[in-house]
Structure 1
Amino acid sequence: MTVPDDASQKSTEEIGEIVSTLHDAGEGHSPSVRDIIKRLGQASFGALLLVPAMIIATPASGIPGLPTVCGLIIALIAIQMLTGRDHIWLPDWVMERRIDGDRFERALDFLQRPVGWIDYLSRPRMTWLLRWPMVLPLQLVCVFCGLAMPFMEWVPLTSSIAAIAVCLVAVAFIADDGLLALAGVAVAVAGAAAFIQLAGHMIAGVFG
């Protein structure tokens, strides 16, 4: 069956608009999470899930504490998707957290090329994976990745791997692309394995 091009185009336009909106939110100052959420307005849950994941998938993951905050945001959004809420809620201490403006802008510049790849790769396919009840494990993967990020922050690169997994699943939600969702699950499994192995080496180095 041939998939209409406009469905793919709509999804990639939404992703491009997200990056553009984030640029506007961070222009000239250090934006808070509240600033970013307000700018995004009535964005879909998939889009809201994608934003913190995209940030941690960039070198911005090196900002101390940022993987923890973004991980908790990812987990909270995914939990609300699981429970069927129709709008996002985040606690005030998360909403008031600010991101360094210069690093934020550099992270967004870093995303320009990946957004182009998404434009090329994503399209509606294997959509049954994104329908209830098959979508539930995908949402749980996002919860798991988000909750793991505060621990992964202490092991270099692993929080970015988890963020890439969430990015793939979030884009799958936006583009209705089950194949990207499967890729996200595979990356999440690889990230968990890498974290366990690297954390084991670090512990052995301390106590060995």
Structure 2
Amino acid sequence: MDDRTIGLSRAPAAESAPQASAKPYANSRRTSVLLREYMANLDQPKASLGSLRDALGDRGFGILLFIFALPNLIPVNIPLLSAVLGAPLVLLAAQLTYGRHKPWFPDWLARQSVSRANFDAVVNRALPYLERAERWLRPRLSVLLSWTGERVIGLGLLVLTVVLALPIPFGNWLPAFAICIIGLAMVEKDGLAVLAGFAVGAFSLVVAGTVVIGLLKAFLLLLSGISA
């Protein structure tokens, strides 16, 4: 009887072991793999923001922050690029500050789409950077990425995204770089990289503030010259 009791008590533990190991395996898939799968399974001529959000699941915040900030790092002067891409970034940062676990977009924004060719071009440009970062990033100081920590991160990102959206000459590259770092760090639960991203972000605010002050001084000097 004791042997049968022991055998029965061990059976559930043996059956539950594969279930316990399955979840970490599913969550261990890299974001770059998810993006490649999304592109491979996309059977529409356009990629919508809503479908991309759904494919990324709980990694949506980090990778969408990365994707929307990355084009600002391209050394090509595209008018109003930072303002157009800055609006979704501000919305994502505000939702993080509020405490949402997954990104939400209004229906009209979720339906916004780009052609398959343009989407593939952006993602294929982003993937090498993403895969390189995935080799360096790993779970560290994960307490900074708790629910409360992510709200604080969202508040800091809100400041950076607003600065990014403003038409400040030479003031967009550094905030975009900081947002990219923080976005990827959130995906990989790397609190140390989050701190590095905010260090870059703090420096970007100093640069942006210096540019704005310089422009204001130049404007006031011009006004004084005209009035004289």
For Structure 1 versus Structure 2, the TM-score category normalised by the shorter chain is 0.7 to 0.9
The partner residue of 1:57 within 42, 54, 73 is: 73
Q: Give the RMSD, CA atoms, in angstroms.
A: 3.5
C-alpha separation between the residues in 2 aligned to 1:167 and 1:53? 6
| 1:102, distance to aligned residue in structure 2 (A) | 7.5
In 1, are the aligned partners of 2:137 and 2:188 still within 8 Å (CA)?
yes
Instruction: Report the Cα distance in structure 2 between the residues aligned to 1:23 and 1:66, rounded to whole angstroms.
Output: 24
Q: Distance in 2 between matches of 1:21 and 1:56?
A: 25
Q: Distance in 2 between matches of 1:189 and 1:121?
A: 22
Which is higher, the Rg of structure 1 or of structure 2? 2
Distance 1:101 1:65 in 2: 23
- Equivalent in the alignment of 2:225: none
**2:192 is the counterpart of 1:176:** no
Residue 192 of structure 1, aligned match among 183, 195, 205: 205
1:48 to 61, 64, 80: 64
Please list every run of 5 or more consecutive structure 1 residues that lacks an aligned counterpart in the other structure: 1-6
Question: 1:154 aligned to 2:153?
Answer: no
Q: Which of residues 214, 220, 225 is equivalent to 1:201?
A: 214
Contact 2:96 2:153 in 1 (8 A): no
The 3-state SS of whatever aligns with 2:202 is helix
The answer (yes or no) to whether the contact 1:169–1:181 under 8 Å persists in 2 is: yes
Q: CA contact under 8 A between 1:58 and 1:111: conserved in structure 2?
A: no
Distance 1:29 1:169 in 2: 31
Question: Within 1, Cα distance between the matches of 2:32 and 2:129?
Answer: 10
Q: TM-score, length-normalised on structure 1? A: 0.72
Q: Secondary structure at the match of 2:30?
A: helix
When normalised by structure 2's length, the TM-score is 0.67
Aligned-partner Cα distance in 1 for 2:216–2:45: 39
- Structure 2 gaps, min length 5: 1-23, 223-228
What SS does the aligned partner of 1:155 have? coil
In structure 2, do the counterparts of structure 1 residues 63 and 24 end up closer, same or farther at CA, with 3 Å as the change threshold? farther
Q: Which of 59, 66, 76 is the matching residue for 2:91?
A: 76
AA aligned to 1:125 is R
Query: 1:1-208 to 2 correspondence within 5 Å?
Result: 13-17=29-33, 20=36, 33=49, 36-37=52-53, 40=55, 42-44=57-59, 45-59=61-75, 62-91=77-106, 94-95=109-110, 107-151=122-166, 153-156=167-170, 158-207=171-220, 208=222
How many residues align? The count is 196
Q: Work out the CA distance in 2 between the residues paired with 1:59 and 1:166.
A: 17
Aligned AA for 1:190? F
Q: Distance in 1 between matches of 2:211 and 2:129?
A: 27
SS in 2 for 1:17: helix
Q: Distance in 1 between matches of 2:49 and 2:41?
A: 10
Give the percent of matched residue pairs that are identical in Structure 1 and Structure 2: 22
**Shift of the alpha carbon at 1:63?**
2.6
Q: Distance in 1 between matches of 2:41 and 2:149?
A: 35
Q: Does structure 1 retain, via aligned residues, the 8 Å contact 2:50–2:105?
A: no
